Amino acid sequence: MTERQGVSGFFLDRVLPIGVVVLVILMLWYGFAVLLNSKFELDQAARAGTEISTRDLVAKTMAQERPVLPAPHQVATELWDTTVNKKITSKRSLVYHGWVTLSSTLLGFLMGTLLGIGLAVAIVHSRVLDKSLMPWIITSQTVPILAIAPMIIVVLNAIGISGLLPKAMISTYLSFFPVAVGMVKGLRSPDTMHMDLMRTYNATQAQVFFKLRWPSAVPFLFTSMKIAVAISLVGAIVGELPTGAVAGLGARLLTGSYYGQTIQIWTALIGAAVLAAILVWAVDIVSRIVMRNMGMAR
Amino acid sequence: MNYSIIISVALFWMVAWFINTRLAELSPKNMIAARAINLLIPLLFGVTLIVIWEGLAKGFEIPGVLLPAPSVIWARITASIDILWADFYQTFLKAVLAGYVMGCGFGFATAIIVDKVPFLRKGLLPVGNLVAALPIVGIAPIMVMWFGFDWPSKAAVVVVMTFFPMLVNTVAGLEASNAMERDLMRTYAANYWQTLLKLRLPAAMPFIFNALKINSTLALIGAIVAEFFGTPIVGMGFRISTEVGRMNIDMVWAEIFVAALAGSLSYGLIALLERAVTFWHPSYRN
Amino acid sequence: MNAVIEAKGLNLTFETNDGPVHALSNIDLTIDDGEFVSLIGPSGCGKTTLLRVIADLEQPTGGTILVNGVTPEEARLSRAYGYVFQAAALYPWRTISGNISLPLEVMGVARSERKARIERNLELVNLSGFEKKFPWQLSGGMQQRASIARALSFDPDMLLMDEPFGALDEIVRDHLNEQLLKLWAQTKKTVVFVTHSIPEAVFLSTKIVVMSPRPGRIHEIIDCDFGVDRPLEIRETPKFLEIAHRVREGLRLGHSYDDREPAES
């Protein structure tokens, strides 16, 4: 496919199509909001015995307190309200809740990545570990591990570990697998020719690791880290569900759904989405910097 | 503390580890022997883990509400087959299957449309890539509000979760055929649909199956986690969250066992299908 | 003899990031029915581009070209030629007979007729018995033969071949050159053959078009007629060496390199 060049190319090939799609999505969103919320308004009008004009109908559907589908501006206002207009330490601030979720995500992600790298190194250098463990790691990727989350929280709470750590452990468990699998692939990725060359230098295993295997594995590591960080976030959110936690984005989702506060649900969801986007983007930036410094810029 | 159990388990572990180490060092020339060994080692490892688990739970007399022994879990499984089946039926056979088929179907159809309209590809794909990275399970409460408490809302979550990987992978797959192969079709004066059906779709199969495999895991996770947000009185996610609340951890493990079985079996089935359809791909020929 | 391909003042300029590239500049070429014409030249001389213009895979930016008396597009739509690429480009998910059948399926040939044609063309390229094999089970040379069989299966008037034997070793190449010649004698098709091997061009062709780069143009057209039954041994005869020398000199002169560079042996 031909890519157009220059600034006009950037506009025509990127900004315009994405902009149009986003615009269409917003319009559809507004349309559906009116559609889905209108039943409530019509019921209200029928109960009061009055007729409601189309203009009033549209206006009211976009200003309900518990809409079936909140209009974009309602969500935007609530977002603004709970982030900028509240103190960060307030229990109603989205930033506070986001931070609660983020902290366990980051902790779990870091631990999971380190564990994953460690295990991958062990697997690549030990035949028996490779043959006994690797099939199980690959199989575990087909198992819905998130289903274990409630149990981990409750069991750890029962032995006295509560708060940040249990959620972080779920995130650790979830991010460990993609990192381990990706790193094993990466550590085994060097060309046979390069490995043979190392043999002719009579290099030790450590030398081969630091000079050849590790640099070759870095791109694989960053790809897995992007998956791992996204899945850590999901783990942290799900970890907030079972015990009726009161803090965190998952908790906001849960309470919103219990009390029918749809706008709260949507803002929590968007908060989670923004967090996910920032995390993946951050890993991407780090990966670009590191790879450029290693001379492997794509 | 039951020392005899602990010691015998430790012994078992050492012997099994020794056996595995010896087995791993073998490199038999016979293909069948090599395959058998490659199956035996992880199997032995798995059995050892279960033995250690049983030994730890019984030997250190760990309370059942924390870590039930495998034997206890198995007893619970056999005693609750009807409950487990009902949960499986609700979650897997209804929500997961319906959502999976619809999500993958929509994703595939959208990919074909996006392929025909380049403007859509440039606009929709970046948005799609972004959404695919988001914690989609979060939409579960919204789906419950729109589709009710029963399985359709869970299926809706699965549809959204499986849609994007299918879309992204199918689009990538449709670009997999190279310029030379497409020029060849041009010299035959083949039209768009002939080129799509005879060249681009077969060439896209490895990518499509990659998405189908990923989606099988995502679908199960989506349905179960969606049930954490609320569901009628049956379902795997429902069972897990309520039994966790009652501290019946052995039942929770029983459900997890069923979920693991369902997940690995469906993945395996798709992998077998993949081998039949994409037998020609270099990754299968050695 | 009727002209099958007629190019007059053909021009093709590509717009690239680094400015315009004159891939083809003022090409005048007439190819008659039944000829075997080689296009030879260094990289960038436009030989592949010219072939692709004939095949309607590229559009010229100036001049005219007629294939079978009509535009290249009309010729393509009437399936006037079979194209053979540098790589076999066989579909790995189809058997050899499935691959030969591909153009026939696209063109709507009936199943019984397809079977007959597959058999016939596999025999032509000496691959009978390999119907049920998959491409990766065949050697490079055999894959290319299958690719040629595929190009002939729908009985086009012309064969357009873009360095089809370039990726093969010399021994296989000699063998395939002989086979191609026999095929040409049998089917009497018009062949346009792109190569950068001088012996290959001289051995196979009735006419050699020497091209040079920057801009892509025709430097010289050399006639060459060894008769239909030519064995490989003619490559050591004086007449062959003389023509090869002419081609080599033409390539050197048309090259943009400094002429004082030592000549290749």
Helix (H) or strand (E) run with residue C66 in it: strand C62-67
Token representation of residue C147: 């690719």
Note whether residue A105 is domain-resident: yes
Give me the residue spans of the domains in chain C.
1-74+196-256
Per-residue pLDDT at C257 exceeds 60: no
Whole-number pLDDT of residue B107 = 94
Test the C interface: residue of B181, B183, B184 with most C CBs within 10 Å: B184
SS3 C12: strand
Nearest Cα residue to B96 out of B239, B235, B271, B255: B235
Chain A: touching chains (3 or more CB pairs < 8 Å): B
CATH for A114? 1.10.3720.10
Chain C: touching chains (3 or more CB pairs < 8 Å): B
Q: Is B222 in contact with B155 (CB distance < 8 Å)?
A: no
Per-residue pLDDT at B139 exceeds 60: yes
Any long-range contacts for B12-19 (C-beta under 8 Å, 24+ apart)?
B12/B48, B12/B51, B12/B52, B12/B55, B13/B48, B13/B51, B13/B52, B16/B44, B16/B45, B16/B47, B16/B48, B16/B51, B17/A128, B17/B48, B19/B44
% pLDDT > 70, chain C: 95
First-residue to last-residue Cα distance in chain B = 52
Highest-scoring range by mean pLDDT, A195-199, B56-60, B129-133, B181-185: B181-185
Which residue would you say has higher pLDDT here, B155 or B126?
Answer: B155
In the structure, what pLDDT confidence band is assigned to residue C85 with cuts at 50, 70 and 90? very high
CA A194 to each of CA A122, A142, A208, A263, B77: distance values in angstroms, whole numbers, following the listed order: 21, 34, 10, 57, 52
Tell whether A57 and A176 lie within a shared domain: no
Tell me the one-letter amino acid at A125.
H
The mean per-residue pLDDT over the stretch C224-234 comes to: 81
Say which CATH superfamily domain C1-74+196-256 falls into: P-loop containing nucleotide triphosphate hydrolases (3.40.50.300)
Edge-to-edge strand order for the sheet containing C3-16?
Answer: C19-32, C3-16, C62-67
Q: How far apart are CA A253 and CA A241, in angstroms?
A: 9
Q: How far apart are CA B44 and CA B168, in angstroms?
A: 39
pLDDT tens figures, C191-215: 999 998 999 999 999 999 999 888 8
Nearest CA in chain A to B42: A132
The mean per-residue pLDDT over the stretch B179-202 comes to: 93
Query: Per DSSP, what are the bridge partners of residue C67?
Result: C5, C70
Tell whether A206 and A64 lie within a shared domain: no
Q: How far apart are CA C222 and CA C202, in angstroms?
A: 10
Residue C194: phi and psi, rounded to 5, are: -95, 135
Per-residue pLDDT at B170 exceeds 50: yes
Give the other-Cβ count within 10 Å of C142's Cβ: 20
Per-residue pLDDT at B31 exceeds 50: yes
Helix (H) or strand (E) run with residue C125 in it: none
Looking up tokens 């496919």 gives A1
Q: How far apart are CA B184 and CA B69, in angstroms?
A: 63
Test the B interface: residue of C102, C105, C152 with most B CBs within 10 Å: C102
pLDDT tens figures, B194-241: 999 999 999 999 999 999 998 998 899 899 988 888 777 888 988 888
Q: How far apart are CA A76 and CA A274, in angstroms?
A: 13
Tell whether A31 and A121 lie within a shared domain: no
Is the Cβ pair B137, A159 closer than 8 Å?
no
Q: How far apart are CA C229 and CA C234, in angstroms?
A: 10
Q: How many residues does chain A have?
A: 298
Q: Is A87 in contact with A148 (CB distance < 8 Å)?
A: no
Edge-to-edge strand order for the sheet containing C207-212?
Answer: C81-84, C158-162, C190-195, C36-40, C207-212, C217-223
pLDDT tens figures, B101-123: 999 999 999 999 999 888 888 88
Q: Classify strands C207-212 and C36-40 as parallel, antiparallel or unpaired.
A: parallel
Give the other-Cβ count within 10 Å of B116's Cβ: 10
Q: How far apart are CA A259 and CA A278, in angstroms?
A: 29
Last residue of a domain, one of A69, A86, A105: A69
Token representation of residue C34: 């039944």
Q: Is the pTM of this model over 0.90?
A: no
Q: Is C151 in contact with C116 (CB distance < 8 Å)?
A: no
Per-residue pLDDT at C25 exceeds 60: yes
Residue C20: phi and psi, rounded to 5, are: -75, 140
Q: Which domain holds residue A283?
A: 94-293
CA dihedral A255→A258→A259→A261, nearest 10 degrees, is 70
Tell whether A99 and A35 lie within a shared domain: no
Q: Is C240 in contact with C234 (CB distance < 8 Å)?
A: yes
Query: Per DSSP, what are the bridge partners of residue A161?
Result: none
Token representation of residue C119: 């058999």
Give the other-Cβ count within 10 Å of A12's Cβ: 14
Note whether residue A256 is domain-resident: yes
Per-residue pLDDT at C175 exceeds 50: yes
Tell whether A284 and A139 lie within a shared domain: yes
Chain B: touching chains (3 or more CB pairs < 8 Å): A, C
Q: How far is A182 from chain B (nearest CA, A)?
A: 15
Tell whether A138 and A266 lie within a shared domain: yes
Q: Which CATH class is domain B77-284?
A: mainly alpha
Token representation of residue C226: 């060894």
With b for 16 or more beta-carbon neighbours within 10 A and e for fewer, the C105-119 pattern comes to ebeebeeeebeebbe
Mean pLDDT score across all residues of chain B: 88
Helix (H) or strand (E) run with residue C182 in it: helix C170-187
Whole-number pLDDT of residue A233 = 92
pLDDT tens figures, A88-117: 777 778 888 888 899 999 999 999 999 999
Which residue would you say has higher pLDDT here, B43 or A8?
Answer: B43
Q: How far apart are CA B224 and CA B262, in angstroms?
A: 12
Tell whether A63 and A116 lie within a shared domain: no
Token representation of residue A118: 């460690």
Domain count, chain A: 2
Helix, strand, coil fractions of chain B, as percent rounded to 5: 85, 0, 15
Whole-number pLDDT of residue C261 = 42
The mean per-residue pLDDT over the stretch C153-177 comes to: 91
Whole-number pLDDT of residue A297 = 60
Residues of B in contact with C86 (CB under 8 A): 180
Asked if the C-beta of B146 comes within 8 angstroms of chain A's C-beta atoms, the answer is yes
Among the partner residues B138, B217, B249, nearest to A237 by beta-carbon distance: B138
SS3 C100: helix
Last residue of a domain, one of A33, A54, A69: A69
Mean pLDDT score across all residues of chain A: 85
In the structure, what pLDDT confidence band is assigned to residue C263 with cuts at 50, 70 and 90? very low
Token representation of residue C130: 């390999």
The mean per-residue pLDDT over the stretch C38-63 comes to: 91
Tell me the one-letter amino acid at A218.
V
Q: Which residues of chain A have pLDDT under 70?
A: 1-6, 9, 243-244, 297-298
Q: Is C206 in contact with C225 (CB distance < 8 Å)?
A: yes
Nearest CA in chain A to B268: A142
Is the Cβ pair B280, C136 closer than 8 Å?
yes
Q: How far apart are CA B57 and CA C62, in angstroms?
A: 85
Query: Per DSSP, what are the bridge partners of residue C12?
Result: C24
Residues 166-205 of B with CB under 8 A from A: none
Give the other-Cβ count within 10 Å of A200's Cβ: 7
Token representation of residue B231: 């569901």
Is the Cβ pair B256, A146 closer than 8 Å?
no
Residue C161: phi and psi, rounded to 5, are: -125, 125
% pLDDT > 90, chain B: 38
Give me the residue spans of the domains in chain B.
3-62, 77-284
Note whether residue A233 is domain-resident: yes
Is the Cβ pair B260, A133 closer than 8 Å?
no
Helix (H) or strand (E) run with residue C162 in it: strand C158-162
CA B37 to each of CA A132, A135, A217, B32, B44: distance values in angstroms, whole numbers, following the listed order: 10, 13, 29, 9, 10
Q: Is B90 in contact with B151 (CB distance < 8 Å)?
A: yes
With the C-alpha atoms ordered A46, A48, A52, A55, is the resulting torsion angle positive or negative? negative
Total CB pairs under 8 A between chain B and C: 51
Helix (H) or strand (E) run with residue C3 in it: strand C3-16
Residues of B in contact with C91 (CB under 8 A): 181, 199, 202
Token representation of residue B220: 């199960």
Whole-number pLDDT of residue C264 = 42
Token representation of residue B107: 């994703």
Per-residue pLDDT at C1 exceeds 70: no
